[in-house]
Structure 1
Amino acid sequence: MDRHEIEGHEVINGEVKATGNGAHVLVPKDWRGADVKIVRTSEPTE
């Protein structure tokens, strides 16, 4: 696993869920319009 250092304001833990031909992660509504970075921390289980 690589190590990455990211400066930010808040961290949430979530699960990626299938949607259509892709997947999504839900974040709080008040994050709308913010820049975010998604980091995969485990191997997919599929």
Structure 2
Amino acid sequence: MEQFTINGHEVVDGDVKATGNGAHVYVPKRWRGADVKVVRTSDPDDE
């Protein structure tokens, strides 16, 4: 696993949910319009 340093304001720890042909990670509505980064911290489960 690689290590990254990211400067930011808040962290949300959540699960990725399947949606159509892709997936979603939900964040607070107040984050709309903000620049965000998503970092995968584990291998995906093969289903």
Q: TM-score, normalised by structure 2?
A: 0.95
1:18 maps to 18
Q: Calculate the aligned-residue CA RMSD, in Å.
A: 0.4
Q: Which runs of 5+ in 1 are unaligned?
A: none
Moved over 6 A (4+): none
Q: TM-score, normalised by structure 1?
A: 0.97
Q: Which runs of 5+ in 2 are unaligned?
A: none
Matched AA of 1:9: H
Residues 6-45 of structure 1 aligned to structure 2 (within 5 Å): 6-45=6-45
